[in-house]
Chains A and B, each alone.
Chain A
Amino acid sequence: MIEFFNYVADNASLLLNYTLQHLRIGMLAVMCGIVLGVPLGLLIARFHIIKKPVMGVSSVIQAIPSLAFMGLLIPVIGIGDKTAIVIIAMYALLPIIRNTYTGLTNIDENIMEAARGIGMTSRQILFKIQLPLALPVLMAGIRVAAVNSIGTATLASFVGGGGLGKQIYAGIQIINVNMMLSGAIPACLLALLIDFLFGLIEKSVVPISLQISGSAISKDRVHRLKHHRKRVLTVACLAIAVLIGSVVYDSIEWDDTPKITIGTTEYIEERIVAELYAQVIEDRTGIKVEQNNAMGDGLVVWQALQANEINAVPAYTGTYYATRLELPIYPGLTAEDTYNGVAEGIAEYGITAAGQLGPNNQYVFAVKPEAAEKYGLEKVSDLVPYASNWVVGCSQSFYAREQDGLFPVCEEYGMEFKEALTFGAAPMYLALENDDVDVIVTFRTDGLLQKYDLVLLEDDREFFPPYVLFFMVNDAVLADYPQVLDACLELQGAVTDEEMQDLNYRGAQDGDLPYDIAHDFLVEKGLLTE
C-alpha cells in the first residue's frame, strides 16, 4: 500500500499528464459524438423513414469490437489521439442518437399540436418547444456517452494515443501492480467525476417547472435555479472552450527545430531499444527525437511508419521477413539472409533498414525447471510425447502467424497440444507459474525469463528464422537528415543477447524507466558521455 503511494508520489506529474490526456480524449470524443449524434437524432425524429437505417448502423457500430475497429480505422486516419477520439466518438453515438430521438418524440402530442395550431414554424417548434422539453432525456444520453467515453479512452494507447491506458498497459506488460493501479484508479475516479459533473448539467437544463413540483415553486427559488443554471452552463462553456483551444494549440507547430518520432508497441524491449537509438541520434545529430511507444501492435506500427506518421521503428528481422513481407522461411535461414531479405523488401515501401543491433530475440519454448527435470526436456522434440496432454500458452500474434507461428511449428515437429491459450506478453508467465499452462512460447531475450528462471528448449530442427533486432527509418526522413542513418549504424552489433536480457530484466523486474536503462548502457559502452 505504502509502496503504491510512493509510486504515485514519484510519478505524480506523469500521472497528472496522463489523466489530463485521458480526460481530453474522452471529452473530445463526446463532443464529436454530440456534434454528430444530436443532428442525426433530430433528423430521424423528423424523417421517420431513415430511423431504422440510422439506428441500425449505430447499433452495429456499437457491436463492433473496439480492437477490430482500430484495425479498420488506422489505415484510413492513422494513429494517435485523433484515431482514438474518432473510435470512441463512434461508440458514443448510439446513446446520444437514441436519447435525442426519444426525447423529441416522447413529447405529449397535445403540446405539439398546440404549437402547430397557434402558428409556430417547425423550426420554432424545434427550438422553443421540442428541444427544451427533450433536454433532460438528451442530456441523460450524453451523460451515459461521456462516462462510457472515459471508460473506453483507455483504448487510446492501442492506437498510439495518450491517456491512462498507457500506464495501465505498460503495467500489464511487466506485471507491475502499482503501475496498473496508478492508471486504473485515476481512470475510475475520472469516470465517477464525469458522471457527477454531467449529472449537474443534466439537472440544471431541465426546465424549471419540471425540476420542482408546482407547490414548491417560489419566485425566490426560480431565481436561484436560474442563477445556478447560468453558473453551470458558464463553466460547461468554458470547459468546451478549453477543449477546443487545446485542439487548436496541438494543431499548431510551435517550434520548428527538426525532430523525428520513433514508434514502438508497449513491449519493454522495443521501448529500451528505441531509447538506445533515440539517445544516439540526438547526441550525434542534434535532432530532437520523440517517442510514441504505446501502439497496440506491430502491424499498427508498420502502417504508421509507411504513412510517415512515425519516422523510425525498431523491429525484428524474422517478423518482417515471414509476416509483414511474407517471404518464405526454411530451416537454416541465416541472420544475414533474413536481414538482407527484409532490407530489400521494405525498400519497396520507401523504408530503409538502418542496421542490426545484435540480439536475436527468437521465439522459444520454455518450461518450468521442475517440469524440465521431471520429463527430461531439453529440446523441442522432447515435447512431442507429452504435447497431446499439455496446454500451451503464447502471444496472440504467434498463434496467428502463418509461417512461423504455433501451427507451423507444431506441424514441423509433428505434435498437437491439447489446447492453446493466448496472452499479452506478461500474463503468460503468470499462467505458467500457476500451472494453467504447461509450456509457453516466448522470446529468447525476454527479461521475464530471468525473473521466472525458466528452462528454454532448443529448436533442434532450426525451424524458427532469426529475429534479430534492427532499425528502420522512413526514406523521407533520411532525405532531409541523411546523418540519421550514420548515427543508427553506429549501434550495429552493439548489444549481445545476454546484455539485452539484462536490460529487459531491469525494465521488467525493477520497473526502471527505459530512458535510464538505455542511458546507463550507452555510457557504460562508451557510446555516450555522461
Chain B
Amino acid sequence: MISFENVSKAYRGQQEPVVRDLSFQIPQGQIVVLIGPSGCGKTTCLKMINRLVKITSGKILIDGEDIMERDPIQLRRTMGYVIQQTGIFPHMTVRQNIEIIPTLQKEDKDKIYRNTLKLMDMVGLDPDEYLDRYPTQLSGGQLQRVGVARAFATDPEIILMDEPFSALDPITRAQLQDELLFLQSNMKKTIVFVTHDMDEAIKIADRIAILSGGELVQYDTPEKIMKEPANDYVARFVGPKRLWTKPEFIRAEDIMVTDPATVPEDLPIFKAMEIMRTEHVDSVLVLDTERRLLGSVSARAILDCADKQVACSSIMSSPGLTSAPNRDLVWLLAKFNETGCRTMPVIDSQGRLMGLITTSSLVTTMSQQFSPESGKEAAG
C-alpha cells in the first residue's frame, strides 16, 4: 500500500505549490488512476513516489516505510516505470532494453534470459522475431509493450505508468489497455497510472483520483465518480454523457420509482381500488408489516372478485421477477425483453421493497442520456 500523508510540492521560484497537502492511500493490488487537466499535479504525484521529484513537505509511505529513508536507486528498482514510448533507449535492442536493470544488478545471465522470454510472451511480442530488434524497427504499440515488459523485468510490486498510452492511435491504445487489464488480473500489482483521458481512466481504474490545482478533488471508484461527482468540477470533467458509455454502471436503484403504490396485506380490496384510482396505477404491491414484498394485486383481479371485503393477500398474485438494487441497466433491459413484463419490483437482500422499475422509468432513463442538460440528473 502506498500512503500519501500531507504531501506538498512547490518548485523553487513558483509561488503556487504544484501539489498541496495531499493525503490518500493506494491499496495493494489495485490500479489507481491519477487524472486531471494538465498542470493539476498528477505527474508530479507519480514522480514523487519513485523520488524523481523531491517532496517539499509531508511523507509518502510504502507498506508503512517512509520512501525518504530508502536509497533512491534501490527504491526505483522495486518499482516498474513506464512512460511514453520515447522512453525506450534507442541505441539498445529490445532485449537490452528489457534486461538493462537485471544486467546492471549482475543477475545470472540464463535466469535473465528466461525471464525475458517470459516477459516478451506476457506482453505479446514473439521473442524470435523481436528480441534482437532495435526500437527504430518497432511500431509505437510494440515499443510500449517493450516498455511494459521492462517495467516488469525486476518483478516489482509497484508499477508507475505516466501517460504510457497517450501517444498511440485509439485502436492500439484500446488493445494495450485490454492487455494491461488482463496482465493485472494475473499479476495483481499495485499500479499507479497517470492519464488525462477519462475514458481510459474509467476503463482500467479500480479507483480514480481526480486532481485539480494540486488538490485531490475526489478519490473513488469510477462508478461513484460518475454517479456522484463531488462537485461541478468533477461533473464537468467526467462529462454528462460519460455514463451512457458504461450502461453497466447504471443500477436498478438509480432508476427505480422509490414510492410505488403499496398496500398492507390485510387491507380490504375495495380500499386497494381507491388507492389505485388516486395513484393512477393499475396494480399495487402487497407488503407485510416489515415491508417485505408478498405479491401484487392488479385492478383486473379486484374487479373479478365478487366479495370486495376480502383482504388483498387472499387474491394477490406472486410478485414475479424481482431485481436486486445493484442490477445494472443491461441486465434489466434483457429481463424486460425476455419476460415481456411491464414492471419489476426492486427488493433488498431481506426481501424488503425498495422501489419499482417500470417500462416508463426505463424509457425516461434512456431518453435522458441523449439530452445533455438533464444527463446529470440521470447520473445522479
Contacts and interface: CB of A to CB of B under 8 A. Distances in A.
Interface string B130-155: 00111111100000000000110010
A229 to B, nearest CB: 13
A129 B87 CA distance: 11
Contacts of B92: 209
B90 A111 contact: yes
A113 interface: yes
A391 interface: no
B86 A121 contact: no
Nearest to A214: B136
Interface string A272-293: 0000000000000000000000
A471 B49 CA distance: 80
Contacts of B79: 119
Interface in A419-476: none
Interface residues of B, number: 35
A110 B86 contact: yes
Given A214-B134, A217-B137, A121 B73 contact: yes
Q: Which label, helix, strand, loop or mixed, suits the secondary structure of the B interface?
A: mixed
A117 interface: yes
B89 A129 contact: yes
Contacts of B77: 118-119
Interface in B53-87: 73-77, 79-81, 83-84, 86-87
A217 B136 CA distance: 9
B91 A207 contact: yes
B52 interface: yes
A128 B100 contact: yes
B104 interface: yes
Nearest to B91: A207
Contacts of A132: 91
A117 B162 CA distance: 11
B324 interface: no
Interface in B146-179: 150-151, 154, 160
Given A209-B91, A210-B91, A111 B74 contact: no
B88 interface: yes
Contact of B52 (A110, A116, A219): A116
Interface string A109-130: 0110111111111001000110
Contacts of B151: 118
A210 B83 contact: no
A209 B134 contact: yes
A110 B83 contact: yes
Contacts of A207: 90-91
B332 interface: no
Nearest to B46: A117
A132 B80 CA distance: 24
A113 B87 contact: yes
Contacts of A117: 47, 50, 52, 76, 81, 83, 87, 160
A251 interface: no
B10 interface: no
A120 B72 CA distance: 10
A203 B95 CA distance: 24
Nearest to B76: A119
A529 interface: no
A213 interface: yes
A115 B89 contact: yes
Nearest to B74: A119
B117 interface: no
A113 B91 contact: no
Contacts of A124: 104
A118 B134 contact: no
A217 B94 CA distance: 14
Contacts of B132: 219, 222
A213 B100 contact: no
A206 B104 CA distance: 23
Contacts of A209: 90-93, 134-137
B179 to A, nearest CB: 20
Contacts of B134: 208-209, 214, 217
B91 A133 contact: yes
Nearest to B136: A214
Nearest to B137: A214
A399 B83 CA distance: 70
Contacts of B83: 110, 113-114, 117
Contact of A118 (B74, B84, B100, B136): B100
Most chain B beta-carbon contacts within 10 A, residue among A114, A118, A119, A219: A118
A87 B125 CA distance: 56
Contact of B76 (A110, A116, A213): A116
A118 B86 contact: no
B81 A114 contact: yes
B101 A119 contact: yes
- With most chain B CB atoms within 10 A of its CB, the pick from A119, A128, A210, A222 is A119
Interface in B218-249: none
Shortest 7 CB-CB distances between A and B: which pairs? A114-B87, A207-B91, A119-B76, A214-B136, A209-B134, A117-B81, A119-B77
7 contacts: A114-B88, A117-B87, A207-B90, A209-B91, A209-B135, A215-B137, A217-B137
Interface of A: 108, 110-111, 113-121, 124, 128-129, 132-133, 207-210, 213-215, 217, 219, 222
